[in-house]
Structure 1
């Protein structure tokens, strides 16, 4: 009997991790995870590991001996209050993981690191390809760009693929993110919602399509590349609310709360997915209206 290939997912029980795990299970992988404590979990292949503890990371990775790695664990909420935590987790934690992987007696087939399209910042207009100059506008984005540069030091020893996902959403994402917040207000039947800048436009993806792209990049063994994961279309928050109103048949009053308007807000973030498609072949993202309909009907 053939031993199943092992996939290590950091942040396995997070929003994205659950969808990536399902994708890799469908491809025949045995899933292992490391990360923070998950109360009540019965997953025997999940280990509580502090990525800032190098010894813990080395021990876990040595024991698991993964064939592929998808590194999702990070502080991903841009408005998170502890700026230092971005650098500790997103840079130092990632370095500890790469160091542990480089010590393995057998080189992994693929190491996928999740960066962020936020590294492009405010300065570049139009559709962003991977060659657009970075111009991070907040600590989260700076920490992700620093992680990318740090990871280059390991390219000779590990087959690293860096992904820059643009905004994406789906069932199970925290209400601290904008689209789940909007969906939750409609599902609760609330009459008023407070938002920030309504004309911020984003390239909104569907988490199911993002997970598929990650799985296909892992299988393509696209070492040494940095690739956007995006839909290639943008919608403003005003348009998102209008879609939700059309889907539900209900209207909602929007109040702009100045406290939600960030001075360093990235106004328009639209990606070019051509490089992604050149690597993994035909791939598409569901229309945002379909994603919202899925989220609105899910109990």
Structure 2
């Protein structure tokens, strides 16, 4: 019997990393993850997988550690999901964001060239690269105009991946993923902030929810659906970039309505206040992805509707806070 395929996931402790690890384990992979040494270890999203995966200490800011991790894991597939992922924080720490989310990709690609040149590489690109959008909906060909230090760093990571693919014949692919959420989303992200607060208000633990722009529109999908697209991309003979999205948008207000309805709280406006600190210096316009190419070439489409997603997140938070 041939030995199982080996995959390395950077950012395995994050939302996407944990769902991807589950998917790859189901597919019979040997799964390795890269984690950063931190003063507070945050492994809650992968706690239930700890005995089935191998963790390596490495850091996107440290070239040597990346080479060592690749040599130890010997992966045939590498999923680079590690980044400074919270857009709002990227204004507070713009150069650190550039270093992790942009230059970190180059360090990783250099390590791949050195230690795993045959491996297939996935780069987590982002709809935030479209920013001030040039066309609606956005496809793989839409010009980029990022509107945050995070978006700018992601553009760098995106193009350096294309560059290495074309220059060194690496099987390197970027997935341009639009917003994707789940019960494992961090509390600082607006959808999870909303579902958590709806549950907390229902349980009498909070009485208000402070938000920024209620009219901000996003193309929101379910992270569990989206990691499947990442995997499918690396199963293709030719490396190409793909937009992964639902193709429909909803406002922050829509999200609030669904979450408060699921929590059994009638009049959501009683609980929501607008706080200027949550309004971004530069808002992105209408982010809406066209996933046609992914559907045609990967056979991928989202299985979970926006409403189902917000309801399942709210139910998960109602359960979480009931404990």
Instruction: Please give the range of the TM-score, normalised by the shorter of the 2 chains.
Output: over 0.9
Tell me the SS of whatever aligns to 1:127. Answer: coil
Contact 1:33 1:45 (8 Å CA) reproduced: yes
Question: How far apart in 1 are the matches of 2:293 and 2:228?
Answer: 16
Note closer, same or farther for the CA distance 1:22–1:192 as it changes in structure 2 (3 Å cut).
same
2-side partners of 1:71 and 1:254: how far apart? 37
Structure 2 unaligned runs (5+)? none
Deviation at 1:228, TM superposition (A): 0.9
Determine which of 227, 246, 252 is the counterpart of 1:231. 246
Deviation at 1:287, TM superposition (A): 0.7
Structure 1 length normalisation: TM-score? Answer: 0.94
* Equivalent-residue separation in structure 2 for 1:159 and 1:206 (angstroms): 27
Please tell me whether residue 102 in structure 1 is matched to residue 113 in structure 2: yes
Partner of 1:176: 188
Distance 1:15 1:221, change over 3 A: farther
Seen in structure 2, the aligned counterparts of structure 1 residues 132 and 142 have a Cα distance that, compared at 3 Å, is: same
The match for 2:72 is 63
1:284 shift after superposition: 2.1
Tell me the TM-score normalised to structure 2 length.
Answer: 0.87
SS at match of 2:234: helix
Partner of 1:246: 261
What CA distance in whole angstroms lies between the structure 2 residues aligned with 1:180 and 1:268?
A: 21
Equivalent residue, structure 1, for 2:304: 286
DSSP 3-state at the match of 2:242: strand
Partner residue of 2:9? 9
Distance 1:76-1:221 versus aligned 2 partners, 3 A rule:
farther
Q: 2:288 & 2:217 partners in 1: Cα distance?
A: 8
Q: Give the drift of 1:191.
A: 3.7
- Identify if the C-alpha distance between structure 1 residues 185 and 10 changes in structure 2 by more than 3 Å, giving closer, same or farther: same
* SS class of match (2:164): coil
- Going by fraction, where is helix more abundant, 1 or 2? 2
- Contact 1:222/1:279 (CA < 8 Å) preserved in 2? no
Partner of 2:102: 91
Matched, 1:133 2:143: yes
SS of residue paired to 1:163: strand
Structure 2 CA distance, aligned partners of 1:31 and 1:73? 16
- Once the two structures are superposed, the pairs formed by residues 245-284 of structure 1 within 5 Å of their partners are 245-250=260-265, 251-252=267-268, 253-284=271-302
1:116 aligns with 2:126: yes
Q: Please name the residue that 2:23 is paired with.
A: 23
1:209 and 2:241 aligned: no
**Cα RMSD between the aligned structures?**
1.7
Alignment correspondent of 2:83 = 74
Secondary structure of 1:188's match?
Answer: helix
Q: Give the match for residue 148 of structure 1.
A: 158
For residues 105 and 169 of structure 1, what CA distance do their matches in structure 2 show? 31
Q: Distance in 1 between matches of 2:15 and 2:31?
A: 16
- Structure 1 unpaired stretches of 5+: none
How many angstroms apart in 2 are the aligned matches of 1:101 and 1:86? 22
Q: In 2, distance between residues paired with 1:91 and 1:60?
A: 20
